[in-house]
Amino acid sequence: MQAYCMKCRAKREIKNPKPVTLKNKRQATQGVCPVCNTKVFRIGKA
């Protein structure tokens, strides 16, 4: 799964993806950018 990295300004593959649930009960995926180690986030199931 890919997410947009704000630091690299590019879509990157998510490293160490883990599912999270938002306050409004929506599913999302959170992980780390493999290039710069910044947190990346994508709404939607993994």
What is the greatest pairwise CA distance in the chain?
31
Interval 1-45: pLDDT, tens: 999 999 999 999 999 999 999 999 999 999 999 999 999 999 987
The pLDDT, as a whole number, for residue 46 is 65
The pLDDT, as a whole number, for residue 44 is 86
| Spans of all domains in the chain | 2-43
The pLDDT, as a whole number, for residue 23 is 96
